Amino acid sequence: MHVEKTSPKQLNRRKFIGLGALASASLLFPQCEIEEDEPLPIVTNHKAIVIGSGFGGAVTALRLTQAGIPVTMLERGQRWQVKSDGDTFSPNIPADKRSTWMRRRTVAPLGPPSFFEKHAGVLDRYDFQNMNVYAGAGVGGGSLVYGGITVKPVRELFQQVLPSGINYGELESTYFPRVINTLGASRIPDDLYETEYYQYARTAITQAEKAGLDAFDFPQAANWDIIRQEIAGTKPKSALVGELLYGNNSGSKLSLDQNYLPAAEATGLLDIHTLHQVKEIRATEDERYAVLVDEISTSGAVVQTKLLLCEYLFLGAGSVGTTKLLVKAKATGTLSQLNEHIGQGWGANGNVMGIRSLIGESTGQRQASPPVRGAFDLNNPHAPLTLDYANYPLGLDCNCSLQLGLVFQKEERGHFVYNRWRDDVDLVWNSNYSDQAATALRDTLNRLNNANQGVIGSLLLPDITGDFTYHPIGGAVMDKACDLYGRVKGYEKLYVMDGAFIPGTTACANPSLTIAAFAERSIEHIISNDFA
Ligand code: FAE
């Protein structure tokens, strides 16, 4: 392994307070004299550290601990234990500070704005030029805020972007089922699907079929019994009133803190540190990794800075979080052997959103989460796409249908660059790529409107928008920045386990199943080969 040798004096002259400056007082730079008034970071040693507790991180933690390997998990957000009073997470309206990660107002794409104090809430948005990227924050990562749609990529499309060394059949036969079983995901039972709460989905499907699209259903990470209890009034109403984006208050969402993570904790080998935000990673002289972390308060103030040393480092901070750490490490020389593919190959998964209004049929007064149906438009003349039918809980029968498009984009990729003036990492994204995806969705929605009734747009969302994504994918991609099992090229015992590993798209599918399945595949191989 390559080892950085930087003079502490040089490091101290850097414009930002980085790992180098703090480490001048630690064992990383023993040759350096400690200033009397310099605060010492707490230094601790660990076998394996996992950064982030979303899909990649949770899968990694479960399989490592089951193999007897102790894991320290660092998660920037809070743990949200669903309480029986229905007041764990923010309501949709009015949203409160629990809704949003470290902002003074809501950032969700739909709904009226709310204002509050900064807080470690669940929904984060990374704002870049031409593209805003949503992500979850908290124990469970994106699973706290996601829709629970658990779908496979369209095989023939996904194979066009996968390296030849990946056997898709292996994902289908082994790893997709492993994830679905561990999550406990299942299709909505007919009796629930037929209730008034899913009228919007039934109408969307009838209209899709009339327009010649192929309807589909999918496993959902939902506990249907709890939704039945919501209907019976024995659980707080959460899915029934459309809660999703800010977390679910009845416990009906099978987020990772209900399956993978408690299973890992049950081994006694997983230690989750919440409100621990990783700032910087570095290779040490003795072939370990140093992780610089700010422990923060729920309002974001730094409580203390810590330095954790480990033998194995697993990155699971999500496509943007992980890529930012790696791009910064390459640019500042703390991991100087990273290759030229770090920060490349990022895609928005063709994520576009539109609303069909005045569609001429009831979509129900009450629209429950989670989404349970979708439709394929794989022969769209612009690009293949799928539609997810998401709930649009206005509390009135709006005769309108929210449509989340996932457009296959084979080549359209952005990349990340380190901005040394801000000591942060920017995304370079061509807005034409978003426009192309919007054009494909527009074509589909026009056909739906022609075959049925309707217009594109509503007061809250006047037109199709592709300037944000819920589905960041790539940044440290397999076979380029990493090998086929997430090992970061140029280093040993350093791994990318999350969405950053996937090559820019999950081919007309929501990404969580694919991310988790690849994490399952990688960690199985890593445990067998790298822990000997
Ligand atoms: P992710 O789940 O984002 O986890 C990363 C974790 O790392 C988070 O807990 C972060 O708080 C933490 N973190 C980040 N930076 C740091 C740091 N510096 N230090 C410490 N911790 C850090 O990553 N996908 C589906 O398949 N189906 C859906 O229905 C669906 N709906 C979605 C709805 C919304 C509103 C959103 C935002 C996303 C949705 N997604 C859905 C996407 C899905 O949540 C996403 O692909 C996965 O969560 C990504 O998994 P990762 O493991 O890559």
Phi-psi region of 182 (alpha: psi -120 to 50; beta: other; left: phi over 0): alpha
Query: What would the mean pLDDT of 139-165 be, rounded to a whole number?
Result: 98
Biggest alpha carbon–alpha carbon distance for the chain: 76
Residue-level pLDDT at 39: 63
* Ligand 1 proximal residues by C-beta, below 6 Å: 51-57, 74-77, 134-138, 141-143, 145-149, 245, 277-278, 316-319, 321, 470-471, 498-499, 510-513, 515
CA of 54 to the centre of ligand 1 (A): 6
pLDDT surpassing 90 at residue 321: yes
pLDDT tens digits, 410-464: 999 999 999 999 999 999 999 999 999 999 999 999 999 999 999 999 988 999 9
Ligand 1 atom 48 nearest Cα: 142
Ligand 1 atom 10 nearest Cα: 137
C-beta separation of 6 from 335 below 8 A? no
CA of 147 to the centre of ligand 1 (A): 11
For residues 408 and 406, give the distance between their C-alpha atoms in angstroms, rounded to a whole number: 7
CA of 133 to the centre of ligand 1 (A): 10
- Whether the full predicted model's pTM is greater than 0.75, yes or no, is yes
pLDDT surpassing 70 at residue 245: yes
Alpha helices in 48-161 (DSSP H): 55-66, 155-158
Say which residue, 123 or 20, is predicted with more confidence.
123
Residue-level pLDDT at 239: 98
Indicate the average pLDDT of the chain. Answer: 93
State the CB neighbour count (10 A cutoff) for residue 83.
12
Judged by DSSP in three states, 206 sits in: helix
pLDDT tens digits, 38-93: 566 779 999 999 999 999 999 999 999 999 999 999 999 999 999 999 999 999 99
Give the model's confidence band at 111: pLDDT under 50 very low, under 70 low, under 90 confident, else very high.
Answer: confident
Residue-level pLDDT at 394: 85
Query: What would the mean pLDDT of 391-408 be, rounded to a whole number?
Result: 92
CA 369 → CA 182, 312, 400, 508, distances in Å?
21, 39, 16, 21
